[in-house]
Amino acid sequence: MSAITNYDPDVYEIMHPGSLQADIEWYRRKAAASGGPVLELGAGTGRIAIPIAQDGIRITALDLDAGMLAKLREKVAALPAATRELVSVHQGDMRTFSLGRTFSLVIVPFRAFLHNLTTEDQLASLTCAHEHLRPGGELAFNVFHPSLQYMAAHAGSQAGTWRWTGTRDASGGGFIVYSDSTRYDTVRQRLRSMIKTEEFSAEGALLRTHMMRLEIAYLYPADIARLLEKTGFELIRISGDFTGRPFEHDGDELVVEARRR
């Protein structure tokens, strides 16, 4: 598990304010179809968990990062009582947690599974997920496909190059600028990034800078299938996006559905 990722919950919420490639809607449909209860691993500040609870589905949110969970608890406390009672928040490591109950669906949204850096970490996390699923229960998660084009753009003389990745309007007329520096370790299948967030006033004065260090693994479809097989899962499908389209493009998102045998 990565020990050097320093998430700032406020920055995270600015960077990821809503649905990403329609992922919230997909996980909400999966949760509704399961009937609950749902377990989310790597729940962060509740971008997925809270909408599921708002649909009337009981959900347990687990994350290792205390700061992210503090923001999640703050948001849950502001919910109507009926919705608030459907959310249970736990701090824990997805490789070693034990909650003493089982679920109809376990989800690991937005590439959180990739914080498991080694094969041993990945197997441990999937084993924990398997143990917390009811017989026939499902596991759903998404990770990026390692695009050769993207990797080539961050290799050789381009490795570690700082790049502007986006600008977003902020409250009060200001704006936020994002940039990153990325390197790939193709031997260990790791991605290492520095992600910089700079907040400016409407006049262009720098108000705040945050630098996040990130190290995650990356996986190919064959890796995913092998890990699932070893931990007692039956692979249902790996789609290329959240519409269920078959995986067929280098830059696709890998949307994974599996079932406890």
Each residue's pLDDT tens digit, 33-64: 999 999 999 999 999 999 999 999 999 999 99
26 burial (CB, 10 Å; 0-12 / 13-18 / 19+) is buried
Instruction: State pTM to two decimals.
Output: 0.96
Percentage of the chain with pLDDT > 90?
92
> What mean pLDDT do residues 159-171 have?
93
> What mean pLDDT do residues 178-197 have?
96
Residue 125 predicted with pLDDT over 80: yes
Give the pLDDT band (50/70/90) at residue 4: low
> What mean pLDDT do residues 139-153 have?
96
Residue 3 predicted with pLDDT over 90: no
> What mean pLDDT do residues 189-218 have?
96
Give me the half-sphere count of Cα atoms (radius 13 Å) on the Cβ side of residue 32: 11
How do residues 241-250 score in pLDDT, each as one tens digit?
999 999 999 9
Residue 2 predicted with pLDDT over 50: no
- Of 126, 139, 130, the residue nearest 223 (C-alpha): 126
- Predicted confidence at residue 1, as pLDDT, reads 53
Residue 5 predicted with pLDDT over 80: no
> What mean pLDDT do residues 7-29 have?
92
Q: Which long-range contacts (CB under 8 A, 24 or more apart) does 117-123 make?
A: 117/1, 117/2, 117/190, 117/215, 117/216, 117/217, 118/217, 119/227, 121/1, 121/95, 122/217, 122/219, 122/227, 123/227, 123/230, 123/231
Domains detected in the chain? 9-145+218-260 (3.40.50.150), 148-216 (2.20.25)
